Amino acid sequence: MRIVIVGAGLTGSEVAYRLAKEGFEIYLYEMRPKVQTEVHKTGYFAELVCSNSFKSESLKNASGLLKAEMRLLGSFILNVAEKYRVPAGKALAVDREKFSKEVTEIIESFNNIHVIREEVKEIKPADDEIWVVCSGPLTSSNLYNSLRNLVGNFLYFFDAVSPVIDADSINMEKVFIGDRYGIGKGDYINCPLDEKQYEELWRTMVEAETIEVKDFEKKRLFERCMPIEEIARSGKDAMRYGPLKPVGLIDPHTGKEPYAVVQLRRDNLDGTLYNIVGFQTRLKWSEQRKVVRKIPGLENAEIVRYGVMHKNIYLNSPKVLDKFLRLKKNQNVFFAGQITGVEGYLESAATGIYVAMNITRILKNKNLLELPRDTIIGGLIDYITEQAFGNLKPMYANFGLFRKNSRRQGKLNKERIAHISLNNIKDFLKKLD
């Protein structure tokens, strides 16, 4: 049985690695660098196109619990991410280039993974093939048209990318290093603004010209990737209560909490690149330079990667996929990753773990297994295939995925939920063995 994987992003790489470790022959298709998307820059597998952060590691946070579940399940992507982590306080952030390069080299080192650098334009599996479509939300127009003919039900939303700047262009005399409430090892560079500076930044932001995006609708903006200019236009103080909130930060130059703060997070291990936290944008590039240089300490900032907005497509999964993420019309075709309607780097990779696990069971003539419902990953799968009302909205890890019986007297007890979830994964692994 041939296994064909379409797309070598985080999800496709996770699937390929796990199935190759089982000894199966894998044909992994990746169109980059021959065919690029509007936001990818390299031909590396698992390239991170938005933030370089995989979010919190705390078990009191659903993202942290997701990581704990993935560690128990032996996530390849998470293992590489931990190897190339950069300082980011309570979050797991990575050197995006070294991370993607390592993923690529490991995948290409397998003799039983045949990497084919070509665009897949049609999903047409033979009877002796299993296909896994991991083409992501930036699926090429050719493949999208083929999939639309195959499944019909496609949805979309918009998200955006923050600018990345050269560290040497930061005026360190005007900024300070530190984490909120002093928790951490000084992983962020903070650019403090007084009221006058903030108002000038806000006014420049709301007056700046944006790039028009085809089919753009404000109602289709994904909430976690809201462009900074849209936040600014919603109210003068909106940025101060959002990405520019100063809470928990004391400027050592004044001994006081600033009026507003723009934070920079390291984008690579060497600390030569920093991304502007929460500054995802669709402003024109010339306008981005103008806005960024209104920030104290960034008056001469050199932007090495501009922010962009892009359209993300995904399946209306409850209508077209079964609970194992197989196409209802053709059970030889699996889908995994953001194209299924999950949102987030690791959420996407987690669906790859689930799909690879069940393909392994198919090829070993075993029954398919569902992940426990009261886990983050199991809850995500259940949501995108069964629980979503109406048209599916993109879903990321959150404690709302757990059923009421995981709560105590209707109240959210995160420690208890984490305990239940991890025990459920451990019990599942015993069954899997």
The answer on 209 and 96 residing in a single domain is no
| 189-198, 220-229, 401-410: range with highest mean pLDDT | 189-198
Q: Where are the alpha helices (DSSP H) in 339-391?
A: 345-363, 376-382
* 155-213 tens-digit pLDDT: 777 777 899 999 999 999 999 999 888 777 788 999 999 999 999 999 999 999 998 76
Q: Is the pTM of this model over 0.85?
A: no
Check pLDDT > 60 for residue 241: yes
For residue 111, the domain's CATH number is 3.50.50.60
> Is residue 148 within a helix (H) or strand (E), and if so which, with residue range?
helix 141-151
Quickly list DSSP for 381-405: HHIIIII--SS---B---GGGS-GG
Tell me which H or E stretch contains 430.
helix 414-432
**Of 248, 280, 307, the domain-final residue:** 307
The CB-side HSE value for 143 (13 A sphere, CA atoms) comes to 22
Res 51 pLDDT > 80: yes
Token reading at 170:
């930061």
Kindly list the distances between the CA atom of residue 243 and the CA atoms of 53, 210, 238, 285, in Å, as whole numbers in the listed order.
15, 19, 9, 20
Looking at the structure, tell me whether residues 7 and 39 fall in a common domain. yes
Spatial distance between the Cα atoms of 311 and 38, rounded to a whole number of angstroms: 10
- Verify that 276 and 194 share a domain, yes or no: yes
Could you give the CA distance from residue 43 to residue 104 in angstroms, rounded to a whole number? Answer: 9
Give the residue from 274, 291, 307 where a domain finishes.
307
| Tokens 């919603």, located at residue | 234
CA separation, residue 397 to residues 11, 347, 381, 413 (Å): 16, 7, 11, 16
Q: Are residues 35 and 112 in the same domain?
A: yes
- In eight-state DSSP terms, residue 68 is H
- Do 23 and 137 share a structural domain? yes
Name residue 94's beta-bridge partners: 85
Domain end marker among 273, 288, 307? 307
Tell me: do 189 and 74 sit in the same domain. no
Please check whether residues 146 and 207 belong to one and the same domain.
Answer: no
Domain check: are 6 and 153 in the same one? yes
- In this model, does residue 223 exceed pLDDT 80? no
Q: How many CB atoms lie within 10 A of CB 300?
A: 11
**Before 33, cis peptide (omega within 30)?**
yes
In the numeric block, which tokens belong to residue 298? 């960034």
* pLDDT the model gives residue 269: 84
Give the model's pLDDT for residue 216.
56
Q: What is the per-residue pLDDT across 111-165, written as a single tens digit (0 to 9) for each?
A: 999 999 999 999 989 999 999 999 988 889 899 899 888 888 677 777 778 999 9
Which amino acid is located at 410 in the chain?
Answer: G
Contact 69, 346 (CB under 8 A): no
Are residue 21 and residue 152 in the same domain, yes or no? yes
Task: Give 407 or 403, the one with higher predicted confidence.
Answer: 403
Q: What is the CATH number of the domain that holds 178?
A: 2.40.30.260
Worst-scoring range by mean pLDDT, 8-17, 227-236, 396-405, 417-426? 396-405
135, 44 in Cβ contact below 8 A? no
Mean pLDDT value across the chain: 91
Q: Is 325 helix (H, G, I), strand (E, B) or coil?
A: coil
SS (H, E, C) 178-221: CCHHHCCCCCEEEEEECHHHHHHHHHHHHHCCECCCCCCCHHHE
Q: Given the DSSP bridges, would you call strands 91-94 and 53-56 parallel, antiparallel or unpaired?
A: antiparallel
Residue 113 near residue 206, CB atoms below 8 Å: no
Q: What pLDDT does residue 123 have?
A: 92
13 and 152 part of one domain:
yes
- Same structural domain, 242 and 145: no
pLDDT surpasses 60 at 409: no
Q: Work out the pLDDT band at 388, boundaries 50, 70, 90.
A: confident
Q: d(Cα 316, Cα 148) in Å, to the nearest integer?
A: 11
222 has pLDDT over 60: no
What does the pLDDT read at residue 219?
A: 52
Same domain, 195 and 280: yes
Q: Which amino acid is at 276?
A: I
Q: Which of 103, 93, 110 is nearest to 42 (CA)?
A: 103
Amino acid at 360: T
What residues are paired with 261 via a beta bridge? 192
Supply the range of the domain harboring residue 302. 164-307
pLDDT reading at 217 higher than 60: no
- Burial (0-12, 13-18, 19+ Cβ within 10 Å), 109: exposed
Q: Over 60: is that where the pLDDT of 107 sits?
A: yes
Task: Read off the pLDDT of residues 253-276 as tens digits, 9 standing for 90 and up.
Answer: 999 999 999 999 999 888 899 999
Q: Inform me whether the pLDDT recorded for 221 exceeds 80.
A: no
Provide, rounded to the nearest whole percent, the portion of the chain with pLDDT above 70. 94
Considering only CA atoms, which of 35, 1, 37, 109 is closest in space to residue 338?
A: 37
Q: What DSSP line would sit under 93-133, residue for residue?
A: EE-HHHHHHHHHHHHHT-TTEEEE-S--------TTEEEEE
Task: Show the beta-strand stretches assigned E in 220-377.
Answer: 260-266, 273-276, 303-305, 309-315, 326-327, 330-335
Total of domains in the chain: 2
